[in-house]
Amino acid sequence: MSAGIKIPTYDLSGKVAIITGSTRGIGNAIAKVFAAYGCAVVITGRKQETCDKAAAEIVAAGGKAIGVATEITNSEHRENLINKTVEKFGKVDILINNAGVGGKEGPILETEENEWDTTMDTDLKSLFFLSKLFAAQVKEQGTGGRIVNMASAAGIKAAKYTSAYACAKAAVIHLTKVMANEWARYGINVNSVAPGYIITDMTKDVMANEKNAVAVMKMIAMRRFGEVDDVAGVALFLCTDASKYITGVLIPVDGGMTIG
Taking the CA of residue 217 as centre, how many other CA atoms within 13 Å lie in the half-sphere pointing to its CB?
13
- Burial class of residue 237, CB neighbours in 10 A (0-12, 13-18, 19+): middle
Q: Round to whole Å and give the CA distance between 65 and 218.
A: 40
- Give the helix/strand (H/E) hosting 130: helix 126-141
Distance between CA atoms of residues 216 and 256, nearest Å: 12
Catalytic residue among 37, 161, 165, 245: 165
Annotated catalytic residue 165: yes
- Strands 40-45, 250-253: pairing kind: unpaired
Catalytic residues: 165
